[in-house]
Amino acid sequence: MVSELDSFLAKGKRKKLIEKLRGKGIKDEAVLEAMNKVPRHVFMDNAFLHHAYQDKAFPISAGQTISQPYTVAFQTELLQVKKRDKVLEIGTGSGYQAAILAEMGARVYSIERQKELFQKAQKTLHKLDYDIHFFFGDGHEGKPQYGPYNAILITAATGEIPENLLEQLKPGGCLVAPVGQSGNQVMTRISKSETGEYEKTNHGMFVFVPMLRGTVNDK
């Protein structure tokens, strides 16, 4: 971690946030450890420390949001990522979730449909020295040329899980996505067995910005 981008104050606030996440039921130590390391304030325009380390979503550019820390922790825990796993993220946004996955040792591929965010996240992650593969495009297509993936994470609300993405999962892998219309969605985990069968489990209600079709080029 590049030390000049972090501070003792931020580290202290992060530690408190981690305890809050633990209190809310996050148990995976690898997830908590990664969240304790990644400086969330660096991903936000107004890097006010009290905003960055509250357990709240926050606006970023292009009318989008950086997910609430609890939501990031919850989705990451459901993914059960191991070191060296290949993970595909749909909806790079600020790049914070991608950084958490990279910090856990995953090989991360992340797609964003808004040019402005795609460029900004790339810069942020580069400053922090994370080696992540970013793509500008519509995540509905996935990235078959780099797959199959051990895990796929959708960080925008989708009415249904794109078939394309399920096909890009390795046997033994899983996909996590908030499924539903605008307003609220059911956190859904789909695992793919070694023989290619799917099993779906539900994990409570969340609120995400929508997964939309096509790309936005303006900057």
DSSP 8-state symbol, 213: S
Would residue 67 show up in a list of annotated catalytic residues for this protein? yes
Site for ligand SAH in 130-149 (CB under 6 A): 138-140
Residue 217, phi then psi, degrees to nearest 5: -95, -20
Over the window 35 to 64, marking each residue x when it contacts ligand SAH by CB under 6 A and - when it does not, the resulting string is -----------------------------x
Quote the CA–CA distance of 34 and 105 in Å, as a whole number: 9
Q: Which one, 159 or 171, has the nearer CB to ligand SAH?
A: 159
Shortest distance, CB of residue 208 to ligand SAH, whole angstroms? Answer: 7
For 14, 110, 203, the CA distances from 127, given in Å and listed in that order, are 20, 17, 34
Closest by CA to 181, choosing from 201, 203, 155, 208, is 208
17 CB contacts (<8 Å, ≥6 apart)? 35, 53, 54, 55, 69
Looking at 10, 41, 53, 67, which residue binds ligand SAH (CB under 6 A)?
67
Nearer to ligand SAH (CB atom), residue 94 or residue 185? 94
Distance of CA 116 to the CA centre of its chain: 18
Nearer to ligand SAH, 8 or 56 (CB): 56
Contact between 113 and ligand SAH per CB under 6 A = yes
Q: Which residues are catalytic?
A: 67
**Site of interaction with ligand SAH (CB under 6 A):** 64-67, 90-91, 93-94, 96-97, 111-114, 117, 138-140, 155-156, 209, 211-212
